[in-house]
Amino acid sequence: MTCSEEDLRKAKRDLIRRLQHAGDQRLDVAANWQKKWSKILPECVDSLFLIEEIARISFLTIEERPPATAPKPAWHNAVFGVGIFGLFIVGSHMIRLHQIFLVVALAAVLVANYLDFWRDAWPRLVVFSLSTSIAVSGLSPWTVQLQGHLGEWGSHTLSFFINPDQSEPFSAFLIVTGLVGAWCSHKFMR
């Protein structure tokens, strides 16, 4: 069995994460990492040893180019993008939260764009934005209570972003769903 580049990337990301907190235990952390992953990926022992060697001597960089042998087809991105956009539109109309969806999505896109654009991770960006929007829109019932403490202008502005008819159980569902989605995008869509 040959060692796949995707498996190696996964292992390397794990090592980079461990080294961030290793301090002066760097060599031990790298050695333990190599032992652990050699058991998981026995076909990659030589490559794992090499990565450990680099970690001992130099710095591992996080940049990773997509494998040249299997470029992601453009239609894949297009279909994915249209699908997410459709979901976004349908979802926002179903729960009548299109205003806050749009505003929060814009803010999330700006933040995520800053973090991910140069790593070509826009699908993660979209999912992260959508999830953040869902989570924040779940705050509506509690945000309504803030209106009383704001001035006329603040109250008016806030009313544009919230849905006063949203029930608390449904809001809790939105918050949990949004947070889980954001976490998943962070964890699995690198």
Question: Which residue ranges make up the site for another protein (CB under 8 A)?
Answer: 2-3, 5, 8, 12, 27, 31, 45-47, 49-51, 53-54, 57-61, 63-65, 68
Number of Cβ within 10 Å of residue 180's Cβ equals: 13
Cα–chain center distance at 190: 7
Q: Smallest distance from the beta carbon of 10 to another protein, in angstroms?
A: 14
d(CA 1, CA 15): 23
d(CA 72, CA 75): 9
Residue number, 22 or 60, with CB nearest to another protein? 60
Spell out the alpha helix ranges (H) of 21-97: 26-40, 45-57, 74-94
Q: Smallest distance from the beta carbon of 33 to another protein, in angstroms?
A: 12
d(CA 74, CA 60): 30
Q: Smallest distance from the beta carbon of 57 to another protein, in angstroms?
A: 5
Residue number, 67 or 86, with CB nearest to another protein? 67
Residue number, 56 or 76, with CB nearest to another protein? 56
Q: Smallest distance from the beta carbon of 118 to another protein, in angstroms?
A: 14
Q: Which helix (H) or strand (E) holds 123?
A: helix 122-137
Residue number, 32 or 177, with CB nearest to another protein? 32
